[in-house]
Structure 1
Amino acid sequence: MTSRSLNIFKDNSLILKWTMVLVAGFCFLWSFQLFIAGNAYYSVKNDIEGWQLSPDKASINRIDRGLGKIGNAIDYFPDNALYYQIQGQLFEWKAVVEKRSEESGDAELGLKSHSDNLNNAAESYEKSLLLRPTWSGSWIGLASVKLLRDELDDEFYRYLKNAKQAGPQDAIVHKFIVEFGLEMFSARSIHYVKIKEQLKQHLNLGLQNPLSRDFVLKAIQKHNASETVCRWLRDASYPVRKRISNCITYD
């Protein structure tokens, strides 16, 4: 091998070596970002699931921390539909908690903040659906924003329809329809007529799904609807009926 060939060989080896170093560094950085983003998502997800069962545990400070975490995850992975959907839920919770706690002494400012947070929530859900149109959680999110705005119009029911088509077995669909349906039943609202068949279906499915079961049982208890739900689900399976308080007797 000539001196010139040897130098070319050494140069190529050096280039290959540094290429491998750069690739390894990139892979390490990507893995680190994935780890941070994943931890942020599951931390926020666990908080939200806890607030759903015990809403009083939600606070502005905890929600703002969650928004910071999921904001960092989105900075790392801006094309992740799930992160935008979780961000939307956080903005919803912030709107609810601010309205509940009336932290602002200025009523007009408080209403503006409530509206801004709902607008932010809707924007996050829309970004999620642009990335993944068949994501049931984001369709439910848009329906939830409409509900918080007292806008139970055709668009609200279209969002529900899209959510059911995208994820007919998803826990988030069961939870929303059960809570909304029982609320409309308790209020003797005209909207109960529109939702009653879906309510019965998702009470059954929600009690079957371990990811929604505790939430559905708590919703039934909150609305003192055990006897009514037992009657609605008289044709449901024994494992479903036995979970409803006093629905199965052995007299």
Structure 2
Amino acid sequence: MTTESSRSNKSSRRRKPGPLGKSLAVAGILLLTVMAYFSVRWMMADINSYPARNALINLQELDADAPIPVEKLERAQKAIDRAIEWRADHGDYYDIKAGLSYSQALHAQQEKRFRDYGKLMNQSLDLYRQASQLRPHWPYSWAGLALAKAKLSQMDEELNQAIDNSVLYGPWENTVNISISEAGLISWQYLPEAQQQAVLANIDRGLKRNFKEIRNIAAQLNQTVLLCEQLQESKEKAKLCKS
């Protein structure tokens, strides 16, 4: 009897956790619930971002003179807006949306819809600002910000800082090399010497991996002679200045 009673008491104690055990169990359930909530939100954000991300990649692969499918852009914009609704703290989504707005701005410029161009380019600029604030070490956002500002003729300290951050965090990134080359050559005469030197160093690196793109940018902006005068001697410079 005594043994059976003892076993019963022990079993009873195991089945009834104390206050600390109950608190830990509740905390664990709450933690799992919170984790599940954010996991679902992040998953839904990623799912919605895919169409916009793919649309942006496809747009970047189009020839400069190719018509941009407006309907596809609109669907992509709606998709990335939904992604931001699910996760408003993810800089990548703002970066994607900024790129879509930038592409739409260039299309408006081609069609001589200059009011739309200004609106869309300013929208792209604002989105690149948000993206760079959320991910301050991400060079692509800074490069996009610099290029948007140069396109809008906003030659100021923010542009200088965007150039500096781009070449600091992404010195060998192809997209950064190309965007900063264009932004720097557009705004060259307004840049302080420090930023001019940063742009030249960026172009020197870019010519090694993106020669065709940077050569075309310099030609379109009538800045090839400037580069031939300012760049350090290299086989890439010799090739550029012969072409």
Q: TM-score range by the shorter chain?
A: 0.5 to 0.7
Q: 2:97 aligns with which of 78, 81, 87?
A: 87
Structure 2 distance, partners of 1:131, 1:193, is 27
Q: Partner of 2:77 in structure 1?
A: 67
1:177 match: secondary structure: helix
Structure 2 distance, partners of 1:93, 1:153, is 24
Q: 1:158 aligns with which of 146, 158, 161?
A: 161
Structure 2 distance, partners of 1:97, 1:123, is 19
Structure 2 distance, partners of 1:196, 1:85, is 26
- 1:150-229 equivalences under 5 Å are 150-183=153-186, 190-191=189-190, 194=193, 196-209=196-209, 212-220=210-218, 222=220
Give 1:94 deviation, angstroms. Answer: 2.1
Query: Is the 1:128–1:138 Cα contact (8 Å) retained in structure 2?
Result: yes
Structure 2 distance, partners of 1:124, 1:242, is 39
Give 1:59 deviation, angstroms. Answer: 4.9
Query: Is the 2:144–2:179 Cα contact (8 Å) retained in structure 1?
Result: no
In our comparison, the structure showing a higher alpha carbon Rg is: 2
Q: Read off the aligned partner of 2:73 and give its amino acid letter.
A: I
Q: Read off the aligned partner of 2:206 and give its amino acid letter.
A: G
Structure 2 distance, partners of 1:214, 1:85, is 25
Give ranges in structure 2 of 5+ residues lacking alignment. Answer: 1-6, 16-28
Q: Read off the aligned partner of 1:84 and give its amino acid letter.
A: Y
Give ranges in structure 1 of 5+ residues lacking alignment. Answer: 9-18, 104-109
Structure 1 distance, partners of 2:49, 2:122, is 26
Q: Read off the aligned partner of 2:57 and give its amino acid letter.
A: N
Give 1:161 deviation, angstroms. Answer: 2.0
Go from structure 1 to structure 2 and tell me whether the alpha carbon gap of 1:55 and 1:197 turns closer, same or farther (over 3 Å shift). farther
Q: Partner of 2:4 in structure 1?
A: none
Q: Partner of 1:40 in structure 2?
A: 51
Query: Is the 1:136–1:163 Cα contact (8 Å) retained in structure 2?
Result: yes
1:126 is aligned to 2:134? no
1:138 is aligned to 2:141? yes
User: Deviation above 6 Å: which 4+ runs of structure 1?
Assistant: 25-28, 224-228
Alignment RMSD (CA, Å): 4.4
Give 1:191 deviation, angstroms. Answer: 3.8
Query: Is the 1:40–1:73 Cα contact (8 Å) retained in structure 2?
Result: no
CA deviation digits over 1:140-174, x for unaligned, max 9?
Answer: 23322322222223332232223223323332331
Q: Read off the aligned partner of 1:122 and give its amino acid letter.
A: L
Structure 1 distance, partners of 2:98, 2:221, is 27
Go from structure 1 to structure 2 and tell me whether the alpha carbon gap of 1:151 and 1:227 turns closer, same or farther (over 3 Å shift). closer
Q: Read off the aligned partner of 1:82 and give its amino acid letter.
A: D
Q: Read off the aligned partner of 1:200 and give its amino acid letter.
A: L
1:54 is aligned to 2:68? no
TM-score normalized by the length of structure 1: 0.64
2:88 match: secondary structure: coil
Go from structure 1 to structure 2 and tell me whether the alpha carbon gap of 1:214 and 1:67 turns closer, same or farther (over 3 Å shift). farther
Give 1:86 deviation, angstroms. Answer: 1.7
TM-score normalized by the length of structure 2: 0.65
Go from structure 1 to structure 2 and tell me whether the alpha carbon gap of 1:181 and 1:66 turns closer, same or farther (over 3 Å shift). same
Structure 1 distance, partners of 2:47, 2:239, is 39
